[in-house]
Amino acid sequence: MLINQDSIKVKKIKLISFQLLLVCFFFVNSALSATPWTLDADRVVSNEDEDIIEAHGNVHLFRLDNYLQADYARLYTETNWLYLKGNISAQWDGDFLEGDEAELDLDNNVGWIKNGQVFMSEEHIYFSGQVLEKTGENTYSFFRGSMTSCDGETPPWSIISSRGKITVDGYASLWNPRFRVKDQSVLYSPYIIVPVKTERQSGFLIPDIGYGSEYGTNINLPYYWVIDDQRDATFYANYYTKRGLMTGLEYRHTPSLLNKGLWRADWLRDREKHDTLESEPSKFRGDGLFRPNKDRYWLRAKYDGYAPQAGWSYKVDIDYVSDQNYLREFKSGHSGFNTSRNQFLDKFGRDIADHDSLVRRNIISAAKYWSNIGLDANLTYSDNLSYKNSNRPSSLNPTIQKLPEVNLNLFRTSIGNTPFEIEANNQATYFWREYGTRGSRLDVHPRLSTPLRNSFGTLTPSIGWRQTAYYIDQFENDPAERNTDDNFQTRGIYDININLFSNIFKVFDLSPAPDMSPENIGETTWTKLRHSIRPEIDYDFIPDVSQNKYPRFDSIDRINPREELTYSLSNVFTSRTDTVTQGAETSGPSIRTRYRDFLRIKFEQAYDFREARRREDIDQYSQRPFSDLLTETTVNPNNYLSLRNKTWYSFYESRVTEHEHTLTVTWPEKVSAWFSLDFLNEIDEFKRRVNSKTSILELGTTLDFVKNWQMTFVYRRDLEEKKDIERSLSLIYRHQCYSLQFIFEKTDYDHRYEVRINLLNLGSIGG
């Protein structure tokens, strides 16, 4: 204990009394720290007969980062009961407390404070009340109090209630709460639970509220259940006024960093059905399908697993939906397509098919890798929605299922001390389908190569052999479609590849580095320029082998002949900039060097020898052995401008046949704007045909000019069809403790309006 002898008058003080003073104050119930308390006060008096110690005037106790201040303090040493009065303020482990009067039982760690306020800094929540009572080690109760996450004397929003209970790192239970904006009450509830925690805990979440012309008003009320440290679940009750009640479940588990799963399911007994094409909503009639079912559901999941002792990794991807319209109708909200897709991409890095895709794939896979060999096996079930719900006869469903597929791949590796390298892709698959040929296929494709390197470049010739064996269980249902009656068939095809490339570069000195002097701090100089050139030639040859008698399951069953030479030239321009920066005080200025690939230009074209020799349909289609010239450009001169461009130019047509262009301009923390134009012209050639011209324009901008405000606008238009594809506007206002968001979106499928209020520590209201 440290005593200021000049400012206090001491009669008799017991050292143990001051070391106990305010230990466990609202927050701690443990043994005293080895670090003693330091006391400063105008006057300290000890009454040994009554076992009372009193401190008067500017009482200040502190230890490390914790402190207590009051005008007056009295400690009953016999019972360890502490009384405080006048301008009470305290900080303990980052949390703050204020009040007018308080009594504390230090032994039992309980007490009360009048006209007090507690600020929980980690959660950024203020609690205040006429009477705040500490009822346990981590529990409080209050009367005629309020809570808010907003700073300031008049918070933008708060919740006042007649009484409440608080659990540190838990929940606050509030009776008769009223939600206030400034000093006006706008909402009332007889009882609510509010999170005041960083750790997970079970309870109801903020409901999601929305409206759509197709399904009416909907309210989605989620309940969050913490099962244990590794598992939790959310239950959804999602009511649509026009459609009925949709129930849902989301289950998450993360036993370790390499083992995690997310499983979701929703079910709806729909009040509406569309059992004829005429009754289908007009926006869904283009696919020629209808929806007669009332029971509607969507099962989706992803799982990553790893068994370290065995070295096997596992993956599960589930995407099973009741009908072709479900995901197009239910896209937004907690239970919608967009939320699930974003969750899968964020947590697993794997996507699911688009909301309008008619084929949904479900995959279970296992893989193991050694130094030069990789083994993976999977079961793939593709659910074709066109053959569901009596749209088309399921007995005529030709969708192929891979049950199973096993891949054993040999990665490129040297053969002993020889100059040769070998690699191989090997696959065994059983193909099953309701209608069509079924059978097994074994495909073995080894490749032998020998890289030849010198100072001018690298030449790598390689030769491969693809051996394929089929065993057919069932031929096409229609005998007229059979090309052979042989159940066992084999095919052998060789292929040749020759690759030649070189890397050439030169560094140009532009200007000397700036002087490392204090007056040059902040000066940046472009000192060097590096130009790298990579010419590359690639030749592929595959002979013309008749394959009509073999079954056709996927692209491997039809290996097209190829005799093509591809040549390209890549240019990369790299800048070096030196900036004078202020180093440590003792070291003085220093040079910071940065490199940027500010310009990339690539030219690529191919020559088809088979097309040059073609005689088929020569009267209708002239020979065009040269492919379009691809020019690919990327420009990044600084952090403000980015240009990416791909252009295909046909010398035969004397025009651009395809173009992809995106220009982005960014003013950090102020403006971001982008412009893109993609188009594809009509083409009628022997090797390719594009029947209609496509031209898509996209404009977008994000504005942050006004403090706390952000506006994002996106516009996409089909220039050929002369119709808008998407128009969306998002306006957000961000405050310290809340944000307001307005969203308007119009697409081919729907119109959506959304107003959402996000409250710090409470969640979102609106939809």
Q: For residue 11, is pLDDT > 50?
A: no
Among the ranges 322-331, 646-655, 731-740, which has the highest mean pLDDT value? 646-655
Residue 22 has a pLDDT of 33
Q: Which of 4-13, 46-55, 279-288, 702-711 reaches the highest mean pLDDT? A: 702-711
Q: What are phi and psi of 34, to 5 degrees?
A: -65, -20
> What's the rounded Cα separation, in Å, for the pair 241 and 209?
12
Question: Is 242 exposed, middle or buried (CB count within 10 Å of its CB: 0-12, 13-18, 19+)?
Answer: middle
3-state SS, residue 450? coil
What average pLDDT score do residues 227-232 get?
90
pLDDT tens, residue by residue, 425-435 = 999 999 999 99
Cα 376 from Cα 205, distance rounded (Å): 41
Q: Is 540 helix (H, G, I), strand (E, B) or coil?
A: strand
- pLDDT tens-digit readout, 134-179: 787 678 788 888 888 899 888 998 889 998 887 766 677 889 888 8
Mean confidence (pLDDT) of the chain:
86
| HEC assignment per residue over 478-506 | CHHHCCCCCCEEEEEEEEEEEEEECCEEE
Nearest residue to 419 via CA among 366, 458, 380, 365? 458
| Phi, psi angle pair for 731, to nearest 5° | -125, 125
Q: Residue 758 pairs with which residues in a beta bridge? A: 739, 764
What is d(CA 354, CA 364) in angstroms, rounded to the nearest whole number?
Answer: 20
Closest CA to 231 of 213, 206, 250, 203: 250
Q: What is the C-alpha to C-alpha distance for residues 589 and 77, in angstroms, rounded to an integer? A: 61
| Torsional sign, CA 341, 346, 347, 352 | positive
Residue in the block written with tokens 């065993």: 471
Residue 610: what pLDDT? 96
Res 37: pLDDT: 62
- In 520-670, the DSSP E strands lie at 524-542, 562-582, 589-608, 629-635, 641-650, 655-667
Say what the pLDDT of residue 683 is: 93
Helix-, strand-, coil-residue percentages of the chain, each rounded to 5 = 5, 60, 35
Q: For 271-320, what is each residue's pLDDT tens digit?
A: 988 888 888 887 788 788 989 999 999 999 999 999 988 899 999 999 99
CA–CA gap between residue 752 and residue 767 (Å, rounded): 10
Mean pLDDT of 92-117: 81
Residue with tokens 């309940």: 223
Quote the CA–CA distance of 158 and 187 in Å, as a whole number: 11
Predicted confidence at residue 763, as pLDDT, reads: 59
Q: How many CA atoms lie within 13 A of 98 on its CB side?
A: 6
**For residue 530, what pLDDT band results from cuts at 50, 70 and 90?**
very high
The mean pLDDT value for 361-382 works out to 96
- Distance CA(646)–CA(660), nearest Å, equals 5
Q: What is the b/e burial string over 96-105, where b = at least 16 CB atoms within 10 angstroms of the residue's CB?
A: ebbbebbebb
- Which range (56-70, 189-203, 570-584, 727-741) has the least confidence? 189-203
Asked if 97 and 119 count as a contact pair (C-beta separation under 8 A), the reply is yes
> What distance lies between CA 404 and its chain's CA centroid?
31
Tokens of 521: 């701090």
How much is the average pLDDT of 686-712? Answer: 91
Cα(76)–Cα(683) distance, rounded to whole angstroms? 96
pLDDT at 472 over 70: yes
Q: 177-186, 297-306, 670-679: which range is least confident on average? A: 177-186
Q: How confident is the model at residue 487 (pLDDT cuts 50, 70, 90)?
A: confident
Helix, strand or coil, per DSSP, at residue 177: coil
Which stretch of 40-44, 112-116, 366-370, 755-759 has the lowest confidence by average pLDDT? Answer: 755-759
Residue 59 is encoded by which pair of tokens? Answer: 């009482």
| Selected residue with higher pLDDT from 503 and 66 | 503
Can you tell me the distance from the alpha carbon of 586 to that of 607, in angstroms, rounded to the nearest whole number? 64
Kindly provide the b/e burial profile for residues 521-554, where b requires at least 16 CB atoms within 10 angstroms of the residue's own CB: beeebebbeeebebebebbebbeeeebeebbebe
Query: Would you state the structure tokens that stand for residue 289, as one six-digit string?
Result: 């399908």
The pLDDT assigned to 27 comes to: 33
- % residues pLDDT > 90 (the chain): 50
640 vs 35, more confident: 640
3-state SS, residue 128:
strand
Q: CA–CA separation, 729 vs 737, rounded Å?
A: 23
444 vs 520: which has the higher pLDDT: 444
Which tokens sit at 603? Answer: 């030219």
Cα angle vertex 411, ends 416, 448, to 5°?
A: 60
Average pLDDT over residues 580-592: 76
Q: What is the mean pLDDT of residues 17-33?
A: 34
Residues 6+ apart with CB under 8 A from 175: 161, 162, 163, 164, 190, 191
Does the pLDDT value for residue 569 go beyond 80? yes
Q: What is the pLDDT of residues 186-226, one digit of tens each?
A: 888 888 777 666 566 677 776 777 766 677 788 888 888 88
Answer yes or no: is pLDDT of 753 > 90. no
User: Cα-flanking dihedrals φ and ψ of residue 610, to 5°?
Assistant: -65, -40
Identity of the amino acid at 275: D
Structural domains of the chain, with CATH: 15-200 (2.60.450.10), 201-362+373-382 (no CATH)
Per-residue model confidence (pLDDT) at position 366: 97
